[in-house]
Amino acid sequence: MQAILDYIEQNRQRFVDELVEWVKIPSVSAQSARKADCGRAAQYVESQLNSIGFETRLCPTAGNPVVLGKHHKAPGKPTVLIYGHYDVQPEDPVDLWQTPPFDPQVRDGNLYARGATDNKGQCFAHIKAVEALIQSNGELPVNITFLIEGEEEIHSANLYDFILKNKDELKCDVGVISDSSQFGPGMPAVTYGLRGIVGEEIRVTGPKQDLHSGVYGGAVANPCNVIADIISKLKDQAGRVAIPGFYDDVLELEPWEREAFAKLPFDAKAFNDSIGVPEASGEQGYNVYEQRWARPTLDVNGIFGGYQGEGSKTIVPSWAGAKITMRMVPNQDPEKIHQQFVDYVKSIAPPSVQVTFKDGGGCGAVMVPRDARFMDQAIEAVKRGFGAEPVFIREGGSIPIVLTLSEELGVHVLLLGFGLPDDNMHGPNEKFSLDDFIKGIKTSAWLLHLCGEAK
């Protein structure tokens, strides 16, 4: 392994340079105008895999293409499927970025750019680990399949079908995904749980066009007021989701988990300061880790209606809309939650407006058991790569495809996050520590090495 670790150190700058080229591409999957950019990002990562001897394919889907890369030259050895995604979140609000989101800059040892950590940087760490193994040893200790998609940020709409249709080709012994985080600086983590997600968009329509609020105000339901009423009724005063049946299937936290989470360091002031809020606010009866990792919740991601410009415009707006996501925990079913949401909103909407729905898709939550195959190797790899014993935690984010990979391919998925919780995934000034990038590469190299040695 020493030659491999040396190779990684020696090529550090080139690795960063190559990552920079990738994150320059604005592959925002939510925006159809960026479809060509998504294609370029796919081609870039395909060429990376190709250049280190992988057999690659750019597989079209109804949406953005899937990049498949295979290096199956280790007969008798396990096959590791490494998943990543080349699409990124929208970059707005652009004016809050210190440097442009797609003009990557290194400051204080961090690479700042949209996609730096989520997920190009973390995905690239695995690719560079594989390069290091191949270039140093001429071969790989395991068989490897890279599955890199371009629709993770829009709930992996087309990957589910792709996996179903390509089950044989994707056959493997374990999945590896680095799309989560360390617990904190110097505290790497192995993640054993993820929340699921259900996306909704609602639109409340009142008058056929904006009306003069003096002439009509007081006699016509105002869609902005109505959407506020609806949203207000989605959660109760105790911070719980008020949709009937929402908590029916929730897997409650185990006593050992609550005990373990209670032992994790937590500095309320530091937490509040880090995100800039006067105080935290969440479901009563649960601590902040529990609220973020293991309790379901509902957030309005965007709300809009009427006049937003400078000054005033005295209208009863014709319509208002909101984008909403619910995070779910294990055992909650996205389809069922979606239906409960729609039924409830319909039941509380007044007859003076029309409400229409757009299903934003979703995915279930995930749990990876402690005794999953190769879990010991994962823990050991993180320990060697990051130089510290990892903590065993859950995370609040969602990786839509984990459940599909587990269920359809019959394997467990190891969740090894290389970034930090304050890397501003999805927000402005997203970053990735270049030290963490290198530690991630080493962790990946160790993991593949240890898997190759496993019985």
Q: Give residues 11-30 in contact with a copy of itself (rule: CB under 8 A).
A: 29-30
| Closer Cβ to a copy of itself, 2 or 347, answer by number | 347
| Closer Cβ to a copy of itself, 217 or 410, answer by number | 217
Is position 209 an interface residue for a copy of itself (rule: CB under 8 A)? yes
Q: Which part of the chain contacts a copy of itself (CB under 8 A), choosing from 17-25, 69-77, 90-98, 135-143?
A: 90-98
Cα–Cα distance for residue pair 35/27, rounded to 1 Å: 7
Is position 56 an interface residue for a copy of itself (rule: CB under 8 A)? no
Site for a copy of itself in 333-352 (CB under 8 A): 350-352
Is position 433 an interface residue for a copy of itself (rule: CB under 8 A)? no
Cα–Cα distance for residue pair 10/113, rounded to 1 Å: 24
Is position 184 an interface residue for a copy of itself (rule: CB under 8 A)? no
Residue 198 near residue 357, CB atoms below 8 Å: no
Size of the site for a copy of itself (CB under 8 A): 103
Choose which of 342, 367, 429, 454 interacts with a copy of itself (CB under 8 A).
429
| Closer Cβ to a copy of itself, 283 or 408, answer by number | 283
How buried is 14 (Cβ within 10 angstroms: 0-12 exposed, 13-18 middle, 19+ buried)? Answer: exposed
Choose which of 47, 50, 314, 356 interacts with a copy of itself (CB under 8 A).
314
| Closer Cβ to a copy of itself, 69 or 196, answer by number | 196
- Three-class SS state of 332: coil
Site for a copy of itself in 121-160 (CB under 8 A): 153-155
Q: How far is the CB of 352 from a copy of itself (least distance, A)?
A: 4
| Closer Cβ to a copy of itself, 53 or 282, answer by number | 282
Residue 124 near residue 19, CB atoms below 8 Å: yes
Choose which of 193, 397, 440, 452 interacts with a copy of itself (CB under 8 A).
397
Cα separation values, 212 from 222, 310, 314, Å: 12, 18, 6
Q: Which part of the chain contacts a copy of itself (CB under 8 A), choosing from 6-14, 255-263, 288-296, 330-338?
A: 288-296
Q: Which part of the chain contacts a copy of itself (CB under 8 A), choosing from 53-61, 167-175, 404-412, 420-428?
A: 420-428
Is position 210 an interface residue for a copy of itself (rule: CB under 8 A)? yes
Supply 223's token pair. 């869609």
Cα separation values, 177 from 59, 104, 334, 369, Å: 20, 24, 22, 15
Cα separation values, 387 from 5, 243, 431, Å: 13, 45, 22
- Spatial CB neighbours of 423, under 8 Å, sequence gap ≥ 6: 116, 117, 118, 181, 430, 431, 432, 433
Choose which of 11, 325, 377, 404 interacts with a copy of itself (CB under 8 A).
325
Is position 266 an interface residue for a copy of itself (rule: CB under 8 A)? no
Cα–Cα distance for residue pair 124/82, rounded to 1 Å: 11
Q: How far is the CB of 354 from a copy of itself (least distance, A)?
A: 7
Cα–Cα distance for residue pair 109/435, rounded to 1 Å: 7
Choose which of 13, 98, 308, 347 interacts with a copy of itself (CB under 8 A).
308
Is position 219 an interface residue for a copy of itself (rule: CB under 8 A)? yes
| Closer Cβ to a copy of itself, 295 or 449, answer by number | 295
Is position 227 an interface residue for a copy of itself (rule: CB under 8 A)? yes
Catalytic sites, residue numbers: 87, 152
Cα–Cα distance for residue pair 368/366, rounded to 1 Å: 7
Q: Which part of the chain contacts a copy of itself (CB under 8 A), choosing from 85-93, 123-131, 138-146, 369-377?
A: 85-93
> Which stretches within 97-251 are classed as H helix?
120-137, 159-165, 167-170, 213-216, 223-232
- Three-class SS state of 149: strand
Site for a copy of itself in 228-247 (CB under 8 A): 228-235, 239
Choose which of 20, 31, 171, 250 interacts with a copy of itself (CB under 8 A).
31
Supply 438's token pair. 């290198």
Note if the bond before 110 is cis, omega within 30 degrees.
Answer: no
Note if the bond before 93 is cis, omega within 30 degrees.
Answer: yes
Choose which of 3, 215, 251, 262 interacts with a copy of itself (CB under 8 A).
215
